[in-house]
Amino acid sequence: MVSSTRYPLLTDSNVDDQDDPSIRLKISNDQYEQPVQGRKGGWKSAIHIIGVEVAERFAFAGTSGNLITYLTDVLGQSTARAAQNVNVWSGVATLLPLLGAIIADSYLGRFKTIIISSFIYVMGLVMLTLSVSTLIPLKFQYWVFFVSLYFVAIGEGGHKPCVQTFGAEQFDERIPEEKKEKSSFFNWWYFGLCSGTMVGMLVVFYIQENVGWMIGFGLPALAMAVALVMFLIGSGFYRSHVPKGSPLVRILQVFVAAYHKRHLCVSKDGVLLYEEENRDDAGLASKGWILPPTNQLKCLDKAAIKDKMDTASHMKNDWRLCSVTQVEEVKLLRLVPIWLSCLSFAIVQAQGGTFFTKQGSSMDRTLVHDFRIPSASLQVITGLTIIPAVVIYDRILVPIARNWTGTQSGITMLQRIGIGIFFAALSMGVAALVEARRVQVAMQYGLIDQPNITVPMSVCWLLPQYVIAGFADVFTIVGLQEFFYDQMPDEMKSIGAAVYLSIMGVGSFLSSLIISVVKFTSSKNGDEWLRDNLNRAHLDNYYWLLVGLCTLGLGVHIAVSRCYSYKKTVVDSLTNQL
């Protein structure tokens, strides 16, 4: 048995069946309301939650993926203006999860937040359906449409950061088998996400363009209602986390305590640093975990120095003395450079639902027997790529890489993210080459000034850029999801999911800003890159600009990744020995 002196949070009372080689850790004050090995949680509840996500992604993809077509063809907006509106809405929808995560982690809990946000989500989709019907007077339809969209964004803000975290929470990291299954969960989670997205795009987009927008928006509303019912049905199987107050207060306490003791010095070996004795109030230690002191941001270690005033006091002042674990949780601010290095990827990803769609709408979309695929449905190719790629990555590449690197996940999370950023830059380069070819064909057939005439070039030319974008998502999106979940403090897991989403949100806003800057600067020369007539535009130049940004982002990501130290816990070290 491992010495309990070396690991003070591990005692004989914490070990179930010491003679059993497959030791299981069991802590009485668990964050769950039942024992770790109880009947709740695990794959039986996680699979159910993945099913909820499939239905929700069907609803969201069916609503958001074809917005640019509705804005340009029905509401009459210009291509650039519509792209900006889509990007701003997408940005809001992916930044609101930060607020939803704080509410979930601090006050309501994830279970209640998911239920409340789902009701708002359904209400927004029902309003959206009514806004395109004859039930709403024509003069009000425009405003009801956009108000409904932002209700959907609010629902997404509460739903998105909690569902994935809630699913991952069904696996206990103290159990080696479940910790391994949790890593696999993120791959299969993304598999389900892409399945729902793909079906939504195939079915809903076709209905929107060939049957009608009312039914096209009504189906997502129905799917979201089904997701809510599915979630409620499975409520008896879930492990639930009880919120313990705002984690932001714990962060602020570290800064205040470090400021009070700014004149003190930290010993090199960290012996004088304070660790929480009462695990019930000790953040990560409430699960039996402690974070050892690290060499980064050592100025914050002063918050854990126990001075004479702390020793003389009979009651600990949380604003003067913090535990090492609490300080290390705050040191996760070092995630910020990683966050910044991934923004270029998010900017590139925003193009799939905007300019990629308009690019395809000008090409020959006839497949067989006069069947024309909606240009927005081309995004399905990304999903079709992701689904087999996730399986291949999880079942083939990871075991091979694990034998080579010795890392449980095959490659590190940051390496996985970096590979995805490379693929994102590659997809933009391919898109630029295809666009240059499309304009060349338009010139050959004398269609340069006839933007409404289909260019005699098959839409299949766009497949490579969508396929490569799918590979980028498999590496970067899944990598970001796992990275921010894994590295965040326990009380901030939902915020970790929201932080990943905020990358996509800020990327959408930056994409909108770049569009404005490009339009302004290029129009000065009378040769606008993003004009409505794509045959006269220079969309390929815009794509090459994004290649440059993505390459720069990859360089920054490699640099900051080399300096990053992953979060470690005592239980992690113990598990390796067991």
SS percent in the chain: helix, strand, coil, step 5: 70, 0, 30
**% of the chain surpassing 70 pLDDT:** 81
Give the model confidence (pLDDT) of 28-61 as tens digits: 333 333 344 456 767 778 888 888 889 999 999 8
The CA distance from 435 to 529, in Å, is: 12
pLDDT, residue 354, reads 74
* pLDDT of res. 36: 43
Residue 392 CA to its chain's centroid (Å): 21
Higher pLDDT, 232 or 571: 232
What does the angle CA 98 – CA 99 – CA 105 come to, to the nearest 5 degrees? 85
pLDDT, average across residues 298-306: 81
What pLDDT shows up at residue 433?
Answer: 94
For the entire predicted model, the pTM comes to 0.68
> What is the predicted pLDDT for the residue at 148?
92
- Rounded CA-CA distance 507/151 in Å is 21
Lowest mean pLDDT across 220-224, 334-338, 371-375, 566-570:
566-570
pLDDT confidence bin for 312, thresholds 50/70/90: confident
Give alpha helix (H) positions in 108-264.
110-131, 138-168, 176-210, 213-233, 247-260
Write the DSSP assignment of 355-416 as a string of letters.
HHHHHHHTEE-B-STT-B--GGGGGHHHHHHHHHHHHHIIIIIHHHHHHHH--TTSS-HHHH
Please give the residue that has the higher pLDDT: either 248 or 127: 127
Return the pLDDT at 198.
82
DSSP string over 561-578: HHH------HHHHHHHH-
Question: What is the average per-residue pLDDT within 231-245?
Answer: 76
Q: Quick check: 282 pLDDT over 70? A: no
Q: What's the CATH fold of domain 39-244?
A: Growth Hormone; Chain: A; (1.20.1250)
Q: State the DSSP code for 311.
A: H
Q: What mean pLDDT do residues 238-256 have?
A: 76
Q: Could you tell me the fold of the domain covering 334-566? A: Growth Hormone; Chain: A; (1.20.1250)
Query: Domain extents for the chain?
Result: 39-244, 247-278+285-322, 334-566
Q: Which of 192-201, 276-285, 331-340, 541-550 has the lowest mean pLDDT?
A: 276-285
pLDDT of residue 225: 93
Domains 39-244 and 334-566 share a fold: yes
Q: How far is CA 230 from the centre of its chain?
A: 22
- For 113-124, the pLDDT digits (tens) are 999 999 999 999
- Tens digits of residue pLDDT in 84-97: 888 888 888 888 88
Residue in this structure with the two tokens 């049905």, named with its chain if needed: 233
Query: How many Cα atoms are found within 13 Å in the side-chain-facing hemisphere of 507?
Result: 25
Is residue 307 over pLDDT 60? Answer: yes
Residue type, 466: Y
pLDDT band at 272 (very low <50, low <70, confident <90, very high): low
Q: What is the pLDDT of residue 288?
A: 46
The whole-angstrom separation of Cα 474 and Cα 365 is: 27
Are 382 and 357 in contact by the 8 Å Cβ rule? The answer is no
